[in-house]
A and B are shown apart, each in its own frame.
Chain A
Amino acid sequence: MTDRSAALAALADPMRRQLLDLLTDGGPQTASALAGSFEITRQAVSKHLAQLEDSGLIHRASAGRSVLFSVDPDALRDTAAWLSLTTLRWEQRLDRLSAMLDGSE
């Protein structure tokens, strides 16, 4: 299971969100290809990729001599599902509180 908290923390950084965008739009890519889109060093890109990988949001797979990174849609859905379910639950609870207090006056 994805650690949702780690996934959210990984997404707090704009560079990592941009990397995730590139992987989402462009499909599986190598670290070098991704680094080409940034001003920062290849090493810094690798570090961000490692953090995204630790959070479960992306995976790496070997393809011949190169390593390809790709987005894990299940991990994103899992975290997005928590956020929307939690929002929905509190909306319903506060609706009930609101109705309860209106009824008592």
Chain B
Amino acid sequence: MIANIVRTFYRVAMSESVTTERYLEADPATVWEAISQPERLGDWLDAAVDVEISEGSEGTIVFRDRGEPSVVLVETVDEGKRLVFRWATSTEAPSEVSIDIEPITTGTRIRVIERLLPQGQVSRHSAAACAANLVCTA
């Protein structure tokens, strides 16, 4: 049984991240709106999103199935193409999420990659982001 867990684990661990992809019928502009407008983003994340989608901005996301807010730091916004942010709660390890969209003949391809962050990475930081272990060194 343990051997099975180990082998399942290797497959995913090779990439050190989780990748999820969908082909959507909507055009890229429509998909980008659903990603970059906090309220619409919250609709499909199933969460209350309180963060401005612009580089360097900081805020919170509260998932409806979990009480505890995630601290969020927006890292990259490439209009219409790419959004990268970091998030963490006080109990869940910090990770980085990148969302890429790309036009295809039938609509849009969206690819989400979430990867765990090494602890204590250096960057811009506030007390909240630091407390959530997102962006400060000890």
B20 within 8 A of A: yes
In the complex, which residues 111-137 of chain B have their Cβ closer than 8 Å to any Cβ of chain A? 112, 114, 116-119
Q: Is the interface of B mostly helix, strand, loop or mixed?
A: mixed
Measured CB to CB, the closest approach of chain B to A37, in angstroms, equals: 16
A62 within 8 A of B: no
CA distance A83 to B40 in the complex (A): 26
B: contact size bracket: 35 or more
CB under 8 Å from chain A, chain B span 42-85:
43-46
Interface residues of B, Cβ cutoff 8 Å to A: 2-3, 5-6, 8-10, 12-14, 16, 18, 20-22, 24-26, 30-31, 34, 40, 43-46, 93, 95, 110, 112, 114, 116-119
Question: Which residues in A have some Cβ–Cβ distance to B below 8 Å?
Answer: 3-9, 11-12, 17, 20-21, 24-25, 71, 73, 76-77, 79-80, 82-83, 86-87, 90-94, 96-98, 100-102, 104-105
